[in-house]
Each structure stands twice: as structure tokens, then as C-alpha cells.
Amino acid sequence: MAQRSRESHIAFLLIVGLVGWFVPGAGHLMINEKKHAIIIFVTIALTFAAGIYIGSIGVINPIGAKPWYVAQVMNSPAVAAIGHITASGDYPVYGRPNEIGQIYTSIAGLLNLLCIVNAVYWAHLRHVGDAGE
């Protein structure tokens, strides 16, 4: 019985992490932290949108800017779809707008990664607290 509970707990933690990756803040929403979820979603969405506004959709470049792209894809799998569209090179961005846009979108992705880890950690702590371990 304990093994089954452990497996279901690990599955729940994975679901919290994946949901938090698909929609920023959704992992916190799953563990009933509505205020945190709203703050996280608004902050990450606005930071990402500001980066796209400053540098255009071309800042998501999976070919020419792989390190930035890895950080950007932490926002959501939707960024990978945008990267597929921009991989053709039809959306060139040069100079400061490119750099600033990449920084903003990458920071949003890394912030979402921190929030995912936080949601999974809180979900684990709540399970441990409920189990009385």
C-alpha cells in the first residue's frame, strides 16, 4: 500500500510540474494557491509579451540563438511552436531590440522554471505534512 501511495505522489508531482510548464501559474492553482497562481501568470505573461513586443517574434530563434531558446522554451511548449515558425529565418531582428527581447523572454522562461520547482516543492511538502512523516 505504501508503494502505491508513493507512486501516486510522484505522479501528482509530475502533473503539477507539467501543468505549471504548460500554463505559468497553473501548478500553483492545482495546489490551491490561487493568489500565487494569478501573480505568477500575470508576471510571466507580461514579461514574455514585453520581450516579444520589443524584439518581435524573431527573438525566438532555435537556430541562431540556442542558449536563449532553451531558456525561452521554459515559458511553455507554445514557445516551441513559435520557434518552429521562426526557424525559417523569415523574421530577422537585429541590434538592441533583438538583445533586449531575448533577455526579457528568457527571463520569463527562467522565472517560470523557478515557479514550477516551487509548486512541485509545495505539493511535496503538503503530502509529507498530510502523511505525518
Per the listing, cell 505549471 goes with 20
Question: With the C-alpha atoms ordered 22, 79, 24, 113, is the resulting torsion angle positive or negative?
Answer: positive
115-131 tens-digit pLDDT: 999 999 999 998 877 65
Q: Within 13 Å and on the Cβ side, how many CA atoms surround 70?
A: 2
Q: Give the pLDDT band (50/70/90) at residue 114.
A: very high
Of 4-18, 82-96, 119-133, give the lowest mean pLDDT range: 119-133
User: Residue 63 region, left (φ>0) first, then alpha (ψ -120 to 50), else beta?
Assistant: alpha
Residue with cell 510540474: 17
pLDDT given at position 89: 80
- Look at residue 131 in the predicted model and tell me its pLDDT: 59
Task: Tell me the pTM.
Answer: 0.88
Query: What is the chain's mean pLDDT, rounded?
Result: 91
Report yes or no: 76 and 24 within 8 Å, Cβ to Cβ: yes
- For residue 54 the three cell numbers come to 520589443
What confidence tier does 1 reach under pLDDT thresholds 50, 70, 90?
very low
pLDDT band, very low/low/confident/very high, at 26 (cuts 50, 70, 90): very high
